[in-house]
Amino acid sequence: MSKQELQINEEIRDKEIRVIGADGAQLGIMSARDALNLAAEKNLDLVKIAPQATPPVCKIIDYGKYRFEQAKREKEAKKNQRVVEIKEIRLSLNIDTHDFETKRNHAIRFLNDGNKVKVSIRFRGREMGHPELGADIMKRFAESLADTANVDKPAKLEGRNMLMFLAPKPVK
């Protein structure tokens, strides 16, 4: 709502509008001039809150206070939302056990931070002839993370890359 500027007081040019009082009570449909006079009597503003309705809905409120509360609500909503990043871990066909464990620990750290993990294996040269070896490594990797992650998208060969997506398990 704060993205587009709201019309207030004299900016409202509609012939008739539905008016809501300061206490939230319906005051009915009246002309914009009558509603403006009503708002002026109470030292408040007439604000068009639903311009797409027929007739448009206006409310008699303190505009400064309304803007403050809107900003506060948006700030609260922004604070509660969380951006999920996708972190990538690259494995290879002939990965050694210690390297595998290191990559696994990185994946656990990413998943504990609430991020998704994209696991990829790039097949080079003659490795393309053995995609089942890549699938085995992916399966082993997913099984080693079974307690912290769910397989979002199973391992799939796309061109020279095999990709798999892991998502963190929901916190109980």
**8 Å CB contact between 34 and 16:** no
pLDDT band, very low/low/confident/very high, at 137 (cuts 50, 70, 90): very high
Give per-residue pLDDT as tens, 48-77. Answer: 888 888 888 999 998 888 889 889 998 988
**What is the span of the domain harbouring residue 62?**
9-79
Which among 61, 103, 110 is positioned nearest to 85, based on CA atoms?
Answer: 110
Residue 129 pLDDT > 60: yes
Give per-residue pLDDT as tens, 90-120. Answer: 999 899 999 999 999 999 999 998 899 999 9
Residue 3 is predicted with a pLDDT of 47
DSSP 71-98: HHHHHHHHHH--PPPEEEEEE-TT--HH
Percentage of the chain lying above the pLDDT 90 cut: 40
Q: Please, where are the H alpha helices in 91-130?
A: 97-112
3-state secondary structure of 150: strand
**48 and 113: one domain?**
no
Q: Domain with 45 in it: what CATH number? A: 3.10.20.80
> Quick check: is 137 in a domain?
yes
**21 and 49: one domain?**
yes
pTM: predicted TM-score of the whole model, two decimal places = 0.55
